[in-house]
Structure 1
Amino acid sequence: MRRLVAGLLVLSALAGCPRKDVRAPEPAPPPNPAAEAPAAQASQAPGAILFFSADVRGYLGPCGCSENMRGGIARAAFQVREARQGALPVLFVDGGDSLFGEPHLKPEQVPQEERKARALAEAYRDMGLAVRAVGELDDTRGAGFRQSLGLPELASGAVKVLPAGARKVGLVSASASAGLVQGAARARAAGATFVVGLFRGTLAEAQRAVSSSAAGVDLVIATHTASEFDGEQNTLTRDAVPVVAMQSKGRSLLRVDLTYGPTPGPFTQQRTAEDSEREVTSLDRRLALMDAEINRPGIDPQLKALKQDKRTELAARRQALLTAPLTPTGEGDGFAVRFVPLESTLPSDPQVQAVVNAYDADVGKMNLEWARAHGQDCPAPAKGQAAFVGNAACAECHAETLPVWEGSKHHQAWKTLEDVGKQFHLNCTGCHVTGWQQPGGVCRLDKVAGRENVGCESCHGPGSLHVEDPSPTNVIAQPGQTVCVTCHNPENSPHFDFATYLPKVLGPGHGATRGVKQ
């Protein structure tokens, strides 16, 4: 009997112990408030941060021809991703006209521009794009190509309402005052308390649209520029309905900070602290002056390095002012508008930079392959017209001039592209070779050999007639400022000053004593 009882006790004890081969299920862990908090906090956040881009025109980054050039999708991505490290929800919206820079492409441009549009689309996805308006330039390769990129779109006349913490934000795409009014009403009916109009027009057109009606929007962004170089500045009008125009080609982002009061109500525009605004304006002026000095031809390298360090310090100070969280100025809902210039000293997002690097690696090969398969030589010069002969022919009579050219940056123009792997990028080649797309010049990327660099004929025109019969009267061009700015334009050489740059290309036998016609 005792054995039976002992056996039952052992079985009972074993039954209470899980066997090694059949593990008892572990109890569910207790709720983790820290893990569940972010989603709940995001839906009740007392504010939000909105980033806008517009009129990017197919630019992944600046050309890099000058020091300290603004722009770059990887720098924009860093700003968005950095803001997402904070407690407030962040929305990134694009205003359109971003995929392409021209309404029509030449056949040789198609491979590069389509590849670039795909790279931009990939970057936008990495940035968590909420929605983008559709502009005319986005359809350069047709609506089918645009839609194949798979980006969330907002068609003209459409409305999108997005959660933004404890409030909702409405986005309206319109090209007229009536469209803003109707779209704003629809957005508010869907629960939006802050409405942004993405206006398909210029700054002046957007101002007229909101002046003719209250429009029902809180902020209007003009997503078009009137001409190629009208988008050089960031502009904010201080009207009843503020209107914004950003620098084109991805050189700046617009940041809108929303702050919410205890209960929803009309949004009032907050001014950033006056002292901060004054300091930012002052820093802008100092940075512009510093850029002009750093880009001055012939600047001493040590002095340039010192000035570059100082510029980096000034840019960091301005960036801190532009991205610091805003303190609500009242008890109700408010918003503040700030531009974030994408300075060259700002960090780039590694993930998006990898997208840009992949594009750079691909596009040169694609362009070269296209040129070999489909390229056409430039037409021959018309009878009696001059042809290109190259620097060697010039040097036979102008031996004292050649060292002047060899000591200039024009002599290194092709190498500067090779150093960054862009010698077969169509956006760059034209200003780094002689006779690009001219009769008797070079029209194929696979036949650049012998035409590299900015040679004599880039400024003086094709020289065959002058070589055959040397005379001052048959030099095609007497170069002046109008010739220089074909490449040294505001986009590629924003700090170019003819009077400052001119002496750097003069020398014995090259205008040093007799001057250059202007």
Structure 2
Amino acid sequence: AAEASTRRLLDLPENASRSLVVVLTRGGRRSARALARVSGVDVVVMGGADVDEPIPPAEVGDALVLHASRQGQGLTLARVYLPAAANEGASPSERPSIVDVSPWSVETRRATLTADVRELEANLARWEAEGADAAQVSRQRARLVAMQAELDGLAPPPVPSDRRALAATFVELPPDAPREAEVTAAMEALARRVNDHNRIALADWAPEPPAEGEPRFVGSAACASCHAQAFEWWRNHPHGRAYSTLEVRHKQYNLTCVGCHVTGYLQPGGSTVTQLGEDGALRNVGCENCHGPGSAHVASDGTVASARTDVPERICVGCHNPEHSDHFMYDVYRRTLIVPGHGLPPAGGTP
């Protein structure tokens, strides 16, 4: 349907002399590639693709497909070159295709080729040591020579004087980047709608109960009577205020966000997006996210040990990953959590 609509628009008389035809889509990669193959389309900008890394321009048919960035974490900037000679006397479908002159594309190809060359070199050494078929090894060695030649010849192409061209780059946005008021308002309205919907639709979503004899999550306040210093320190730590950072953004019921701002999320005896323990005891990133569910430890006045005292890195990197915490270093961060009453002897000799 999107392709047919695009063709009808291109057939309108007022579009016959357009210098550049850009199509915006949120339909995913397959839809973007289909639109790029419509005769007369020059650039397709794809939004909404959930990918970890920015995507450089991709040539599809006679068009280029651009990715508009992920979750507003950056901007794909495109500089378009439209020499007059490239547009004279030609309809959109008759003009030569637009050329990608992005250094970004070249460097991405360089990284891919470098990795492929190293892998093939290692394979060739292994195959020869194992006495693999000589003809097959010879074909792969010829392939290696071709790959190396392409790698050696990689360079950003010059901007042509007689064809339209595009150079794209990706700019990561810092958290304090200026915000467009209209876009900010639209995003906040979306966050409110998602929040309101999930709060009602998922109200009855209860956590899975723990297996018989296994502990459940009880919340950090249950630790305070025996670990007063650690509890007071935690209350003023970002972990102890994590849930409020969602509330002010109307995202406390957002399934993408909440798991890293509460305790025991989707774990047996833990929490869900709408059920956070008795009186909200499992709000925030609490003690039990690191040390394990504590009901047995609390009920025994500490004679039953908590599940973990030395917290492995895997516990942290579920949330402190490159997407959310790109400067996270486990050993450095862990040292900041070792304080009196929490890994060190209590100050003044009291808990």
1:136-170 Cα shifts (integer Å, max 9, x gaps): xxxxxxxxxxxxxxxxxx7x7x55xxxxxxxxxxx
- Give 1:237 shift: 8.3
Counterpart secondary structure, 1:401: helix
Aligned match for 1:452, one of 276, 280, 283: 283
Q: How do 1:373-388 and structure 2 match up within 5 A?
A: 375-388=204-217
Does 1:436 pair with 2:265?
yes
Does 1:501 pair with 2:322?
no
Does 1:481 pair with 2:302?
no
Measure, in 1, the Cα distance between the counterparts of 2:47 and 2:198. 31
**Residues 479/242 of structure 1: CA separation in 2 closer, same or farther (3 Å cut):** farther
**Residues 429/469 of structure 1: CA separation in 2 closer, same or farther (3 Å cut):** same
**Residues 223/407 of structure 1: CA separation in 2 closer, same or farther (3 Å cut):** closer
Contact 1:400/1:509 (<8 A) preserved:
yes
1:455-494 Cα shifts (integer Å, max 9, x gaps): 1111111012223163585424631211011111222222
**Residues 499/234 of structure 1: CA separation in 2 closer, same or farther (3 Å cut):** farther
Aligned match for 1:355, one of 150, 174, 186: 186
**Residues 494/353 of structure 1: CA separation in 2 closer, same or farther (3 Å cut):** same
Q: Could you tell me which amino acid in structure 2 is paired with residue 509 of structure 1? A: G
Q: Which residue of 2 aligns with 1:490?
A: 322
Measure, in 2, the Cα distance between the counterparts of 1:443 and 1:337. 45
Q: How do 1:150-169 and structure 2 match up within 5 A?
A: 158=34
Measure, in 1, the Cα distance between the counterparts of 2:102 and 2:272. 52
Measure, in 2, the Cα distance between the counterparts of 1:383 and 1:425. 31
Contact 1:506/1:512 (<8 A) preserved:
yes
**Residues 395/499 of structure 1: CA separation in 2 closer, same or farther (3 Å cut):** same
Task: Give TM-score scaled by structure 2 length.
Answer: 0.61
Q: Which residue of 2 aligns with 1:93?
A: 24
Measure, in 2, the Cα distance between the counterparts of 1:339 and 1:369. 42
Measure, in 2, the Cα distance between the counterparts of 1:505 and 1:481. 13
Does 1:406 pair with 2:202?
no
Does 1:337 pair with 2:167?
yes
Measure, in 2, the Cα distance between the counterparts of 1:506 and 1:242. 55
Measure, in 1, the Cα distance between the counterparts of 2:159 and 2:220. 66
Segments of 5+ residues of structure 2 without an aligned counterpart are 1-12, 107-157, 346-351
Measure, in 2, the Cα distance between the counterparts of 1:392 and 1:434. 12
1:191-229 Cα shifts (integer Å, max 9, x gaps): x3x755x7xxxxxxxxxxxxxxxxxxxxxx99998xx7x
Q: Which residue of 2 aligns with 1:370?
A: 201
Aligned match for 1:393, one of 193, 208, 222: 222
**Residues 389/447 of structure 1: CA separation in 2 closer, same or farther (3 Å cut):** closer
Counterpart secondary structure, 2:76: strand
Measure, in 1, the Cα distance between the counterparts of 2:84 and 2:261. 56
Q: Which residue of 1 aligns with 2:83?
A: 260
What RMSD, in angstroms, separates the aligned Cα atoms of the two structures?
4.1
**Residues 397/366 of structure 1: CA separation in 2 closer, same or farther (3 Å cut):** same
Q: Relative contact order (alpha carbons < 8 A, sep ≥ 6): 1 or 2 greater?
A: 1
- Give 1:270 shift: 7.0
Structure with bigger gyration radius: 1
Residue range with higher mean Cα deviation, 469-478 or 354-363: 469-478
Q: Which residue of 1 aligns with 2:53?
A: 232
Task: Give TM-score scaled by structure 1 length.
Answer: 0.43
Q: Which residue of 2 aligns with 1:65?
A: none
